[in-house]
Structure 1
Amino acid sequence: MLPAAVEAVAQQLVTVGNASSLHGSGRAARRVVEESREQIAGALGARPSEVVFTSGGTESDNLALQGAFRARRAADPRRTRLLVSTVEHHAVLDTVEHLVRDEGARVSWLEVDPEGRVAPEVLRAALAAEPESAALVSVMWANNEVGTIQPVAELAAVAAEFGVPFHTDAVQAAGHTPVDFAASGADLVTVSAHKLGGPVGVGALVARRDAPVVPLLFGGGQERQLRSGTVDAPGIRGFAVAVEESVRTLPEETARLVALRDRLVRGALDLGLGITVSGAYAPGDAERRLAGNVHLRVPRCDGDSLLYLLDAVGVECSTGSACQAGVPQPSHVLLAMGVPEEEARGALRLTLGHTSSEADVEAVLAALPGAVERAQRAHDATGGAGLGGARRAG
């Protein structure tokens, strides 16, 4: 968390008051919530009435997809088709799976190019194939694994041509690349506090007033009748402070992180280990890729092995892989981008943020050769099963 957000949450935590109550303490809490709503809206190019507070990105994605699907189907029973990119976060993918399995939805998967981007013409062709059935389009603003930034405004414009609401998961984007709700043309945008220096457990669905959405939760209708539940005033306060600071400092922080990212990528490639970079990448570029995202593929390696070996020397990273029936599966994002399965298994994601320094980058580069050598030895000795001999469950 950003220090200013920590301080804001701590101050509000000791203040009594339910923002739905009419007494003095309740009104004071309501003032905090509404002033925070105005701050967040201003930073994200939205109106305050368009900011609907939730418990975070997963709930916001569920509200957007389930809420919009049900609203559209109720208005027109033919509207049962979801158009979704193949590289979405599981908060979107698993919600789509639920709607297909339990609520009669159909899905048209929008394929991506080798950099992980959905071309507007791909969306246009998918909509034109069966325009009367389209309920909602959902394409994330920036990818959580490889950092690719989508052409959101162009995609939203295509959806608007066909009169179809457009949702984008901007959890990775807000506070890290310019996000302007009004200018984007999107109808629904998901944001989360903890991805931009705020507290865990609070987020928002930014929703146009005319966006077709029905609620998932009932019991008070505190948030525009779209989301019931006592609002988290301390979390919302920290969220607002984090959004405002991350957006205000975005230009200089982007330049700083791009320099660190490029040093890390250049250093990794220069190690002579056969490492490659996934997704859109050009030195100095922060328009097609998030400034703080480094996604590497290491040959003859199991990503989990690399993760544990690096963790043992103080480098925390992730792989993007999943585990099904006790067998680790390569990242669906990399597979959708056309990366061969064996290459995808050696994936490593390193994320830089406001606490990252040049010393951190140098520590990673110093740790990589030893970790890769051990991981490759384990891979070769076990036939690709990594450190565990057989592929581990979990």
Structure 2
Amino acid sequence: MSIIKFNRDLPAVLFIILAMCMSMELYFTWRFPQSIINFACAVTLLPYLLRLKISRQSVWLIVLLILNFVYNYTHNTVSFSFLPFLNLASLIIISTFVVLSSVEFKIKLLRGFDLFMKVICCTSLVGWLLYLVGVPLPHYYSDTTDFYSHEVYYLFIVGANNIVEELLPRFCGMFLEPGHIGSTCCLLLFINRFNFKDKSNYIYILAIVLSLSLAAYCLLFIGLCLHYFLKGAHIIKYILFMGVFAAAFYVFSLTYNDGDNIFNEKIVSRLMFVDGELSGDNRTSMLFDAYYDDWLKYGDILNGYGRKAYGDGTESTNILYGCASYKRFFFINGIIGLVLVLILYWSLFYKYRSNQVWGFVVLYVICNMIRDYPFRLMWLYLFILGSVVLSLPRNAMMSQTKANSYDVK
């Protein structure tokens, strides 16, 4: 018997992780064409997919999955052409495999992604600390997309529009923006059951704190409350502790340096109500709000505004430019798209429902109300994997992964 046993599931795990990172446009994926990479992932996974046995119940789920991806494609693709269609077919193949794969494989995929995220977050945090203390690091300027521009430091990126005006720029690691890394870390912490006996989970906490993302701070607080409430152990103690901590943070932010500090500027001040509106509620533009209100009164609410909202893809014609919230999703996809995605997610979670999974669903819904990414593979797969893992006994994940290798069933 060979000393080193080849793990035949490793290519599948690695390619799925790559597809997840492509969906959120992490820095190291920028130079790769998304459709080609996803096609390569789909080709790699196809032999695994063909080995799977599909039950009658799974057929309905796959049909629902395909309907959602096709509907999303028709409403969010600016120009119908070969490469976008190739990307759609690839996403369907990859997602079908993830949905149908065995529980053992899902656990392995989650562990692989969790390890990968901790490695890249830790690497970025080391570079970030060097950057903050003034160590000169090689970098270059990048107009990343029509909306984003960055200073790229190779180990991490910084929003270029924040460099000059802020004493402490917000940490986003290799993600496009701080809210992306902060929200993803919150989801992973919940899936990991906030197990701080595992010291590596503090990497996520540090990334969230340094992101200075109001969304991430709120998600962390809500996630902790949901976890301990559903856990049912000493709930009053945890609520009091988190309440005292939140109050102390609030007082510190308002009083330190007379409120002239980064926590008050980026977090607390955005929780204030001004003229009846939350000052931090800036997920949509005035242009979008005008179109949205008019569409609600006179538009096709059933089918949504569709891909014409993107114009020709440029800033001047794109109604959605700089917007991210549940309103954007509803505006583009309408009632039909909303119902389709709700049925899909309900079907994905229902089989594995439990107290902790219910809490994870609430947290995930809040994530997508802030930033509507139900079809970004990273978040979609985290929902699938999290629902499975959180439905298992606490020690089941560890016992499952002590085996030398897993087969895709």
Category of TM-score, reference length = shorter chain: under 0.3
Q: When the two structures are superposed, what TM-score results if normalisation uses the length of structure 2?
A: 0.22
Q: Name the structure with the higher helix share.
A: 2
Structure with more contact order per residue of length (Cα contacts < 8 Å, sep ≥ 6)? 2
Q: When the two structures are superposed, what TM-score results if normalisation uses the length of structure 1?
A: 0.23
Q: Name the structure with the higher strand share.
A: 1
